[in-house]
Amino acid sequence: MPTVALPDRPPFAIRARLLSPLASGGTLHEADGLVAVDGDGSLSFVGAAGAAPPDLVAGAVDVRPWIVMPGLIDTHAHLPQLPNAGLGFALDLLTWLDRLTFPTERSWADPAVATRLAPAIFRAFAAVGTTTVLAYGVVYEAAMEAAFLAAEAHGIRAILGKVMMDRVTYDPTIEPGTILNRSLREAADLIGRWHGAADGRLGYAVTPRFAVSCTAEMLRESASLARSTGSWWQTHVSEDPGEIAEVARLFPGARDYVDVYDRAGGLGERSVLAHAIHLSDRELARLVETRTRVSHCPASNLFIGAGVMPLARWLEAGVVVGLGSDVSGGPDPSLFSVMRAGAYAQMARRALTDEDRPPLEPHAWLRLGTLDGARVLGLEDRIGSLEVGKEADVIVVDPGMTAPLSGAGAAPDLDPGLLDDPGALVSRLIFRAHPDMVRGAWVRGEKLEGAS
Ligand SMILES: [Zn+2]
């Protein structure tokens, strides 16, 4: 195991095995590679160490046999819910919200709670290799201010939004009839302070929770706010049969669930809809047509029992899909664990339905958690892969921790032949992910606290 200290800030170079999806398709795999980060935190060299300028090689921190990979991109999570991770198995969605989630979010009415917890929450994401997170917060502006301050100080790339709810809200202090205007005003305040802050590392997503807890007016006004400010817009769609029935009851004039958001002006390439499991052909076509993004959260979907997305069909139709932990609908912030849950779920779907599309390979899951996540956010020209010119959002992973005998007192037994097969290596990282295998995480070359 390398004993060298990992670099804290740019410029630096790391010599390691490199593994990354490529924008042009395919995978970069370099057994003895080198990445160099320039003083601005961008990747200035990615490739074989033997092809790197000698001064870079001489100054590089050698972490072999560890792997440098792009940082993971979580396109759907709920910040305040992290302490609940692992609780509420198999409660249906609406019961789960009432019993577990809303009481937890209500505790952030005291901004001191957010100030105390948010730094640890961002460290928890970094610890599992997540360098970018698109997340929901709570309905309280002061708590969101604290969350943004924590993200700014931590260094993670974060797009956050104050949750908007004007139909069923958990905040008893808000007078009915004033919620819409107050919620829009507070979101606009936060956008003014935080959207594009930290040199573009922080962003704002206007966040109406979902159609069950928002009136048509709030959905429409929130979408308009996102458009006029260049913010993202995020919500949930078509997760659970009970929720879908409730939306049909609340919006009798809409053709279907997606149409509720369509009529509000909420679809488009800056919109990220979480789940999107039970879509009709019409809804699917409309998401493709409007280039609306989807966050696939398979671990959450299995944990709550919402269903199994026909992922292969959605991808074939041309939907831009990334991965989301949906903590704490999902029990684990690690996207490696989300990839594993997704892969199992797709195999179960193949066994139980007549779908005959081939299962996604491990590389495809890694791409969903990195470069495709960047596409969901429209940030694929800046992050998501190890390619020269991109910002250095990278992680270092110790593959020895995935070895079957490493926890049994034997030396890590990764077979060198296995390491030379990138497909086998990614398979090990996904199906035998270890909670501590991420040894370092950087955003723009600045090391994040949490990974060790
Ligand atoms: Zn969610």
CA of 273 to the centre of ligand 1 (A): 9
Q: In degrees to the nearest 10, what's the CA dihedral of 128, 110, 328, 130? A: -20
Distance 135 CA to ligand 1 centre (A): 9
Q: How far is the CA of 205 from the centre of ligand 1 (A)?
A: 14
| Distance of CA 37 from the midpoint of ligand 1 (Å) | 34
CA–CA separation, 152 vs 313, rounded Å? 38
pLDDT values of the chain reduced to their tens digit, one per residue, 452 residues: 677 799 999 999 999 999 999 999 999 999 999 999 999 999 999 999 999 999 999 999 999 989 999 999 999 999 999 999 999 898 888 888 889 999 999 999 999 999 999 999 999 999 999 999 999 999 999 999 999 999 999 999 999 999 999 987 778 777 777 899 999 999 999 999 999 999 999 999 999 999 999 999 999 999 999 999 999 999 999 999 999 999 999 999 999 999 999 999 999 999 999 999 999 999 999 999 999 999 999 999 999 999 999 999 999 999 999 999 999 999 999 999 999 999 999 999 999 998 888 899 999 999 999 999 999 999 999 999 999 999 999 999 999 888 877 666 655 556 656 677 889 999 999 999 999 999 999 999 999 999 87
Task: Give the pLDDT confidence score for residue 245 in this predicted structure.
Answer: 97
Distance 399 CA to ligand 1 centre (A): 31
Residue 372 CA, ligand 1 centroid: distance in Å: 19
Query: What integer pLDDT is reported at residue 165 of this predicted model?
Result: 93
Helices (runs of H) and strands (runs of E) counted in the chain: 18, 16
- Ligand 1 center–CA 390 separation, angstroms: 29
Question: What's residue 402's pLDDT?
Answer: 86
pLDDT of 170 reads 79
Query: Is this model's pTM higher than 0.95 or not?
Result: yes
CA 135/CA 133 separation, integer angstroms: 6
The reported pLDDT for the residue numbered 4 is: 79
Calculate how far, in angstroms, residue 249's C-alpha sits from the geometric centre of ligand 1.
Answer: 21
Rounded distance from Cα 366 to ligand 1 centre (Å): 21
The neighbour count for residue 140, using CB atoms within 10 Å, is 24
Contact predicate 57/15, CB 8 Å: yes
Instruction: Fill in the amino acid letter for 320.
Output: V
- CA 77 – ligand 1 centroid, Å: 6
CA 274–ligand 1 middle distance (angstroms):
7
In angstroms, what is the span from residue 418 Cα to ligand 1's centroid?
37
Half-sphere exposure of 241 (CA within 13 A, CB side): 3
Instruction: Calculate how far, in angstroms, residue 236's C-alpha sits from the geometric centre of ligand 1.
Output: 6
Cα-to-centroid distance, 301 and ligand 1 (Å): 10
pLDDT given for residue 413 in this prediction? 58
Three-state secondary structure call for residue 202: strand
Name the nearest CA neighbour of 206 among 182, 179, 188. 188
**What is the CA(405)–ligand 1 centre distance, in A?**
36
CB atoms within 10 A of CB 86: 12
- Three-state SS string across 265-311, please? CCCCCCEEEEECCCCCHHHHHHHHHCCCEEEECHHHHHHHCCCCCCH
What 3-state DSSP class applies to 329? coil
Q: What is the pLDDT of residue 92?
A: 81
Rounded to the nearest whole angstrom, what is the distance from the C-alpha of residue 297 to the centroid of ligand 1? 8
Tokens 């249906």 — which residue? 92
